[in-house]
Structure 1
């Protein structure tokens, strides 16, 4: 998932360009937006009647890439010249689309320097920014209990199962977005 937004308490939009992930999000009740096929900004404006989403999540971080975007080209050039380490297209996009008083969460990993962060809109909208790695240890016990009790079933994300010896091959399948691969479970 590249990014997601909350339009209200129950309505989630997933923004990506991988058909399998978009289909999975739609099957789970989310509204998919394929950024290769439509304008994210225009679609979110339509869905929120011009207000913007209440909550936005940058789930990709430093590896954001949208080849047709001018700011992505700028980021790539800066990286080649060793003047920037991360690509912040999704972060910028989420700042622009989030409604005033909204919440911007950034679990997407950033490792160094970024340029052209729209601080004016971030500040003038009064956005609350939450950052940091996902707190796996904080939530693991609760989530495992929910799975054990049958309250949630995360198995819908598993698209491939393979032996541990097939790990490198399955990594390439996942990385190259082949065979509809979204999540691999390796078994010893």
Structure 2
């Protein structure tokens, strides 16, 4: 299959890789119909995320069609059109039982630090992502959902991270971002206030003023978005016309040209806000 492959900082290309296989009875293989480059993928692209290994395929935002399923999968079948949250999670551990899917303890050897994320370095479990023609989806009965018939593909794609994470942030009134933004929040919030952090917080240089936060008596709240918990309300908002996620999409790029897509997005060229990758357009 054709897939985006990381070759070092600022170096990605499309290569032939072996087709993913069913490795566990709960796996599914999904033929990717659409993926996206996320702003947090640029941390990987720039070489700023620990343990990002040469040969890895990025992409934690993707949708597709189920190609085949393992013998234990009950809720999906070949041909189903599915959306896959960026969180890889088991659905049964202490954290998953409480809806904290981004904190799953069974999907990553580094689970004491971070849960599992598709295409986001071996720090996050080493799962290849969806910027490819096919992807292996573990725990297929708990992560993916069948896309509603009324939902547009691009809207479904953006629900897998960008929209869900933004909604998670907005409803909790969170402040986050770069070290500058976090330090600004710590400086600006009143004593005894709350600063919350979400999104991608991987690069090791992102030091913030924890001493100041302690001295001001601040409460710090933070987490990766548990994507699937956001879907019921997001689906309702989209169906009722309150949200149109694909309004932010500016570029639609064939998989074979993904290196150009990363360059355009990273350099903020051509008004690029959200690039979508089309495997079958290559």
TM-score, with structure 1 as normaliser: 0.47
* Greater relative CO, 1 or 2 (CA 8 Å, sep 6+): 2
Higher helix share: 1
What is the TM-score of this pair, normalised by structure 2?
0.33
